[in-house]
């Protein structure tokens, strides 16, 4: 009887493990048109930078083919950040989806704006 109770407890404990994973939070994006660089920040608080981290970021410009960036560690325990070379022009729509190693994903989107463009008079 003790073995059955112990085995049942172990099964319940192991099945609850995925519930402890923390999915990514808000995805904040900015784009530098001159440098053709996308800055990505993803809220993702973790305890262990080597076990819990954003392992993949998928970038699409105007729903085109994805640009995938893979990681093996998260440098900050609160936020994943990256600067990635992405070719885009004024008016392009960039979407980013971040995937956590322990499960879950989060997305963000921005439209590229040429801030130096003169407004019509």
76 DSSP 8-state letter = S
CATH of the domain at 99: 2.60.40.10
Is residue 42 situated within a structural domain?
A: yes
- Report how many domains make up the chain: 1
- Write out the residue range of the structural domain in which residue 50 sits: 21-111
Over residues 36-63, mean pLDDT? 94
Is residue 118 situated within a structural domain?
A: no
Task: Return the pLDDT at 14.
Answer: 47
Dump pLDDT digits (tens) for 65-101.
Answer: 999 999 999 989 999 999 999 999 999 999 999 999 9
Task: Return the pLDDT at 17.
Answer: 47
pLDDT for residue 15 is more than 50 = no
Widest pairwise Cα distance in the chain: 85
Is residue 96 situated within a structural domain?
A: yes
Reported as a pLDDT band with limits 50, 70 and 90, residue 48 is: confident
Measured CA to CA, the distance from residue 47 to residue 45 in angstroms comes to: 7
Is residue 11 situated within a structural domain?
A: no
Dump pLDDT digits (tens) for 26-46.
Answer: 999 999 999 999 999 999 999
Over residues 5-21, mean pLDDT? 51
pLDDT for residue 120 is more than 90 = no
Is residue 43 situated within a structural domain?
A: yes
CA–CA–CA angle 78, 84, 86 (5° rounding) = 140
pTM for the full model?
Answer: 0.79
């Amino acid at each position: 009887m003790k073995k059955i109770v112990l085995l049942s407890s172990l099964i319940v404990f192991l099945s609850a493990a995925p519930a402890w994973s923390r999915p990514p939070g808000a995805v904040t994006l900015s784009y530098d048109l001159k440098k053709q660089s996308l800055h990505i920040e993803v809220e993702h608080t973790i305890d262990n930078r080597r076990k819990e981290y954003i392992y993949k970021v998928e970038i699409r410009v105007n729903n085109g083919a994805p640009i995938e960036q893979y990681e093996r560690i998260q440098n900050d325990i609160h936020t994943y950040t990256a600067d990635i070379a992405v070719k885009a022009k004024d008016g392009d729509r960039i979407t980013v989806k971040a995937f956590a190693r322990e499960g879950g994903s989060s997305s963000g989107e921005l439209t590229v704006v040429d801030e130096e463009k003169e407004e019509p008079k």
